[in-house]
């Protein structure tokens, strides 16, 4: 007795320890999973935001280049009318510089690269022949050109945007170009420099040679960047987003896109630490707010541990009285509020259900022909009794296989059994959903058709006869059947007499040549 008491106490303590451990582990797992999910969401959101911003800024920059080229193109058409008039060229250069703030300077050159006019004139380039990369690219291609960054004739790091000038007969006269200074204030600097945050976020622009076109640290403009996978993607013309280390070794969340007009890459990035800075504080806040609920939960767990024995005892009592018809109802009433007892309850109910199912199966086996799966005489008697009590009219089709003894003698009883099985299946196929099929003898069958008159029964019988006549009954080959029909109460008010009359019609069909249906 004492040993049993100790065992019960140990089980209770074990359940209590496991429950408490489960609760604590679940809480820790929830906090960890929540932290990881929110962390990844913050990273993904920042990457997507930077990618969207870089894409938008790339589109805006591309629009700026298109607008700048359009301005130069219009100026080229105007200057082509009188390209030899220096005063006219000076006026046009001044107009292009002052009309918008697209350029830091305007330079007009002839077909050999000689400077014809500038704005501002303080550049002191008039009369000089430019051999800078931008000027040479413009003269050589005679097409609109956006140059790569280079040091200009007056020492500025610039990009050179130029448009050719052709006269009315299509002769190349020279080019008009606008310069944008990369290390001084310019519209490009303002366009790109608007992205700035105190948390360390910034953007930069890099060209196809890995040189920085724009960087918030001006001294880095014009320098070459290596060992950066984002820039590798940009060089390959790929836009996207990824985590990367910048040149200072800081983990950054970068989104990047390509400027179609130049092939430059715009990279917007934010320190990973800045993105996740608020997450630790948020997690601690969640834990702090969870403590009161956790304390209440532990009290509830203590109470639940004391209550575990109650449903177990009720289930044990039910197990001792499973032979009682009321046991299933008693077990159903047990309040199994935790998993183990609920599983035991379901198992016991399932066991009782299986027991009842087996009993039902035994009863069904008693009423079923084992060879064909059709009903036997018990099924026949039960259906007839129910229909007679309910005054449900019905018809009976008596079925017999023609020359069945010859089949058994010629092919063996196994072949005969196979014929009977196939006949049973054809009976199911030809009859209606509510019809009842019974095997009442060796090769004798009855089909009961509730609420069917003789004409409906005749249709079913003829359909079955024709189907059997043409069916493949291998290894026997073709077989035929004879059928007789009677109805209650049309043929007789005595059910036994109706069955007898169906048999008489069957014998009449055999006497009249077999493979027939007779109806009486």
The answer to whether residue 349 scores a pLDDT higher than 90 is no
Domain assignment of residue 7, yes or no: no
- Token output for 39: 């962390």
Does residue 452 or residue 219 have the better pLDDT? 452
**Contacts with 393 (C-beta within 8 Å, 6 or more apart), sequence order:** 450, 451, 452, 453, 487, 488, 489, 490
Q: Tell me what pLDDT residue 186 has.
A: 74
Q: Tell me what pLDDT residue 516 has.
A: 93
Domain assignment of residue 411, yes or no: yes
Q: How much is the average pLDDT of 224-234?
A: 86
The answer to whether residue 57 scores a pLDDT higher than 80 is yes
Report the domain count for the chain. 4
Between CA 223 and CA 231, with CA 226 as vertex, the angle to 5 degrees is 95
What pTM does this model have?
Answer: 0.51
Domain that holds residue 497: 377-519
Q: What CATH number has the domain bearing residue 151?
A: 3.30.450.20
pLDDT digits (tens, 9 = 90+) for 2-36: 444 444 454 456 666 777 777 678 777 877 788 88
507 burial level (CB within 10 Å; 0-12, 13-18, 19+):
middle
Highest mean pLDDT among 158-167, 207-216, 305-314: 158-167
Q: How much is the average pLDDT of 160-186?
A: 88
Question: How many Cβ atoms from other residues are within 10 Å of residue 25's Cβ?
Answer: 10
**Contacts with 186 (C-beta within 8 Å, 6 or more apart), sequence order:** 103, 104, 180
Domain shared by 268 and 208, yes or no = yes
Q: Phi/psi of residue 337, each to 5°?
A: -95, 0
Q: Phi/psi of residue 117, each to 5°?
A: -160, 150
Q: Tell me what pLDDT residue 484 has.
A: 95
Domain assignment of residue 229, yes or no: yes
End-to-end CA distance of the chain: give it in Å, rounded.
81
Highest mean pLDDT among 267-271, 275-279, 310-314: 267-271
> Where among 176, 210, 244 does a domain terminate?
176
16: closest CA among 304, 294, 344, 296?
304
Domain shared by 144 and 115, yes or no = yes
Domain shared by 500 and 416, yes or no = yes
Does residue 299 or residue 236 have the better pLDDT? 236
Domain assignment of residue 51, yes or no: no
Q: Tell me what pLDDT residue 3 has.
A: 43
Residue 297: C-alpha distances to residues 137, 268, 285, 310, 452 (Å)? 77, 47, 19, 21, 68
Strand partners, 180: 159
The answer to whether residue 80 scores a pLDDT higher than 60 is yes
pLDDT digits (tens, 9 = 90+) for 302-344: 776 667 777 767 777 777 776 666 777 777 777 777 777 777 7
Rg of the chain over Cα atoms, rounded to whole angstroms, equals: 49
pLDDT band at 276 (very low <50, low <70, confident <90, very high): confident
For the chain, the average pLDDT equals 83
């Amino acid at each position: 007795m004492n040993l049993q008491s100790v065992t019960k106490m140990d089980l209770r303590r074990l359940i209590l320890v496991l429950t408490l451990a489960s609760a604590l582990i679940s809480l820790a797992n929830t906090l960890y999973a929540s932290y990881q999910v929110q962390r990844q969401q913050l990273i993904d959101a920042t990457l997507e935001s930077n990618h969207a911003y870089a894409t938008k800024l790339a589109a805006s920059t591309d629009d700026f280049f298109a607008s700048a080229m359009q301005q130069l193109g219009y100026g080229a058409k105007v200057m082509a009318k009188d390209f030899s008039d220096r005063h006219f060229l000076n006026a046009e250069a001044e107009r292009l510089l002052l009309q918008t703030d697209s350029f830091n300077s305007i330079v007009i050159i002839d077909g050999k690269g000689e400077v014809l006019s500038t704005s501002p004139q303080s550049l002191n380039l008039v009369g000089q022949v430019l051999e800078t990369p931008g000027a040479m690219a413009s003269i050589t291609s005679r097409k609109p050109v956006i140059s790569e960054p280079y040091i200009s004739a007056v020492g500025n790091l610039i990009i050179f945007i130029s448009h050719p000038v052709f006269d009315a007969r299509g002769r190349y006269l020279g080019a008009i170009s606008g310069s944008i200074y990369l290390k001084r204030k310019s519209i490009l600097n303002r366009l790109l420099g608007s992205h700035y945050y105190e948390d360390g976020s910034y953007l930069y622009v890099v060209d196809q040679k890995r040189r920085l076109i724009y960087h918030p640290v001006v001294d880095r403009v014009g320098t070459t960047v290596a060992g950066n996978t984002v820039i590798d993607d940009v060089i390959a013309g790929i836009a996207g987003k990824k985590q990367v280390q910048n040149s200072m070794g800081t983990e950054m969340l970068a989104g990047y896109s390509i400027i179609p007009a130049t092939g430059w890459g715009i990279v917007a990035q934010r320190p990973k630490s800045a993105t996740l800075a608020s997450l630790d504080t948020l997690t601690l806040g969640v834990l702090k707010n969870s403590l009161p609920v956790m304390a209440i939960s532990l009290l509830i767990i203590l109470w639940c541990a004391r209550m575990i024995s109650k449903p177990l005892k009720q289930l044990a009592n039910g197990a001792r009285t499973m032979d009682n018809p009321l046991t299933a109802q008693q077990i159903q009433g047990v309040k199994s509020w935790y998993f183990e007892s609920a599983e035991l309850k379901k198992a016991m109910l399932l066991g009782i259900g299986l027991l009842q199912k087996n009993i039902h199966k035994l009863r069904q086996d008693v009423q079923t022909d084992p060879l064909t799966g059709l009903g036997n005489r018990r099924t026949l008697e039960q259906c007839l009794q129910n229909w007679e009590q309910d005054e449900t009219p019905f018809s009976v089709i008596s079925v017999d296989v023609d020359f069945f003894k010859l089949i058994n003698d010629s092919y063996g009883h196994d072949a005969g059994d196979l014929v009977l099985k196939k006949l049973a299946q054809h009976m199911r196929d030809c009859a209606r959903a509510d019809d009842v099929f019974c095997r009442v003898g060796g090769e004798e069958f009855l089909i009961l058709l509730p609420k069917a008159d003789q004409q409906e029964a005749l249709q079913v019988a003829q359909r079955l006869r024709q189907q059997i006549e043409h069916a493949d009954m291998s290894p026997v080959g073709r077989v035929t059947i004879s059928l007789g029909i009677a109805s209650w109460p049309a043929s007789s008010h005595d059910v036994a007499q109706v069955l007898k009359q169906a048999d008489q019609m069957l014998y009449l069909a055999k006497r009249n040549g077999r493979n027939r249906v007779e109806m009486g």
